[in-house]
Amino acid sequence: MSTESTRPEWLQEAEQHLIRYCENFSDVLITKASGAYLYTDDGRQILDFTSGQMCAIFGHSHPRIVEALQRGTQSSIHLLSAMLSPSVIELSRRLAELLPPELSRAMFLSTGGESNEMAIRMAKLATGGFEVIGFTGSWHGMTAGAQSHTYSLTRRSYGPVMPGSYAIPAPNSYRCPVKHCSGQCDNTCLDVGMDLVDRQSVGAYAAVIVEPVLSAAGIIELTPEYLKALKAHCDARGLLLIFDEAQTGVGRLGDNFGFEQSGVVPDFLTLSKTLGGGLPLSAVVTSDTLEQDCYDKGFISVTSHVSDPLPAEVGVTVLSILVEEKMQERAQKMGDHLKRGLEELQERYECIGDVRGRGLLLGMEIVKDRASKTPDPELGSKIAEQCLKNGLSMNIVRIKGYGGVFRIAPPLTITQAELDQGIRILDQSIREVLSI
């Protein structure tokens, strides 16, 4: 962050009128974004390794998305919530065609917090319970219900959360939460976590909510074996399973959706971020059976922008790009190339303790040394700041216990040359920070 004397005038003005919702604002002013690049007011070009807020899945201002916006503004932007548009109906059909038959009913909202809120709300209504299980380090949104099951730095000082909120350990094989395994999770932490929850439960289970790759927790991938074991625990207790695919859906992991490799079909699937391609659009998807059950029980949850036609028009285009341009295959190919580049840096620098993830959602953990694995978030922050100065936008997790993990999620449209450019800038920045 700039000192008071060097802080640009626009930043000082912004801080006079804007609520500071993320500690401090970046001191670069972005006037344009296109493809994999951001452009500043002083003419600099910055390579974006985060897809904005992990949302611009096919790059900034993708031409087909811009065209969809233009089409949408010429038909209808917003309607009464009970009224439907052709774009909403088409999006529901196109989404169902990409998903297993068990996931056939969708509701379209604006943000990930909203879609998770609706999934939790429906799970409570369907089961009659209220107890919901999340994972340590998870992030599911800022609304009251979603926040209650978000176990990160956002919990402190905001008062009581929803009753029946429980957490189990994230299966981080690099830092086993129960000090049991090293390098490969054997699901002991899952069994221990569920046993602890059972001892606290009042017998009113509703749901488990989980990301196939826990992002804010430091890019912790849940293996197919883990997800199958989790599903068995859910079935044994009457828990409904919610997969939050805000960041993992729409091709980013090398599959259309993150749960596909596991063979486990959730009771609810929530999508956001990537579904809108940079526009505010989210969805909760469930089965005919659960939808009917909730309908029969009087489910109601009307928001101002449910089923808005404009973002739905964009969502249809996003799914078209995913399928027609085989973006999931591109994510796998480009992700393999990027991971090899990061692993080469790991061989070169002792401070890179681990490289993990799949597709174009990768984590790079910064440590003091590989023997102790002590997190070094201060060094990670310095590297991130130096990267930005050198023309690369990076994202680092600062959550206590998970600090110092870069979340690397460039657009799926990124080229190999652009990935190589990012690796070179990262290499240069690490050298400069370490003064070697």
The pLDDT tens digits for 17-66 are 999 988 789 999 999 999 999 999 999 999 999 999 999 999 999 999 99
pLDDT given for residue 398 in this prediction: 62
Give dist(CA 70, CA 63) in Å, integer: 11
Mean pLDDT across the chain, nearest whole number? 94
User: For the residues 91-100, what does the mean pLDDT come to?
Assistant: 98
pLDDT in tens, 157-193: 888 999 999 999 999 888 777 766 666 778 888 999 9
Distance CA 212, CA 274 (A): 15
pLDDT tens-digit readout, 232-266? 999 999 999 999 999 999 999 999 999 999 999 99
Query: For residues 129 and 204, is the Cβ–Cβ distance under 8 A?
Result: yes
Give the C-alpha distances (Å, rounded to integers) separating 16 from 1, 3, 7, 10, 54: 16, 16, 13, 10, 28
Rounded Cα gap, residues 33 and 39, in angstroms? 6
C-alpha span between 234 and 232 (Å, rounded): 5
Reported as type and span, the H/E element at residue 166 is strand 165-168
The residues that are catalytic are 139, 211, 244, 247, 273, 407
What is the rounded average pLDDT of the residues 388-404?
Answer: 80
| Residue given tokens 């341009």 in the structure block | 325
Collapse the DSSP code of 243 into the 3-class scheme (helix H, G, I; strand E, B; otherwise coil) and give the result: strand
Residue 146 pLDDT greater than 80, yes or no: yes
Torsion sign, CA atoms 150, 152, 154, 157: positive
Helix (H, G, I), strand (E, B) or coil at 104: coil
**pLDDT for position 105:** 98
Phi, psi for 259 (deg, rounded to 5):
-80, -10
What CA–CA distance (Å, rounded) separates 402 from 169? Answer: 13
Any alpha helices (H) in 349-414, and if so which ranges? 377-390
Report the candidate in 200, 199, 177 with the shortest Cα–Cα distance to residue 190. Answer: 177
Report domain extents, the chain: 9-61+328-434, 76-324
* Beta carbons within 10 angstroms of residue 169's beta carbon: 17
Sorting pLDDT into bands at 50, 70 and 90, what band is 399?
Answer: low
Q: In this prediction, what percent of the chain has a pLDDT beyond 90?
A: 83
State yes or no: pLDDT of 153 exceeds 90: no
Residue scoring higher pLDDT (202 or 182): 202
- Tens-place pLDDT, residues 109-130: 999 999 999 999 999 999 999 9
Rounded Cα gap, residues 59 and 416, in angstroms: 14
Vertex 217 angle, CA 173 and 275, to 5° = 120
420 close to 342: Cβ distance less than 8 angstroms: no
- Residue 269: name the closest of 261, 258, 277 by CA: 258
CATH number of 76-324: 3.40.640.10
Q: How many CA atoms lie within 13 A of 47 on its CB side?
A: 23
Predicted pLDDT at 1 = 44
Evaluate whether 109 touches 246 at the Cβ level (below 8 Å).
Answer: no
Average pLDDT for 307-314: 97
CB atoms within 10 A of CB 393: 22
pLDDT of residue 211: 96
Given a contact cutoff of 8 angstroms between Cβ atoms, the answer to whether 360 and 409 are in contact is yes
pTM of the model: 0.94
Q: How far apart are CA 244 and CA 96, in angstroms?
A: 17
pLDDT classification of 426: cutoffs 50, 70, 90 = very high
Q: How far apart, in whole angstroms, are the C-alpha atoms of residue 106 and residue 270?
A: 9
From 3.30.1490.100, 3.90.1150.10, 3.30.70.1560, 3.40.50.2000, which CATH number describes the 9-61+328-434 domain?
Answer: 3.90.1150.10
pLDDT at 431: 97
Residue 181's CB is within 10 A of a number of other CB atoms, namely 16
The tally of CA atoms less than 13 A away on the side-chain side of residue 119 is 39
With a pLDDT cut of 70, the percent of the chain lying above it is: 96
- Give the count of alpha carbons within 13 A of 433, CB side only: 22
DSSP assignment, residue 255?
S
* Count of C-beta atoms within a 10 Å radius of residue 368: 16
- CA-wise closest residue to 208 among 249, 257, 250, 151: 151
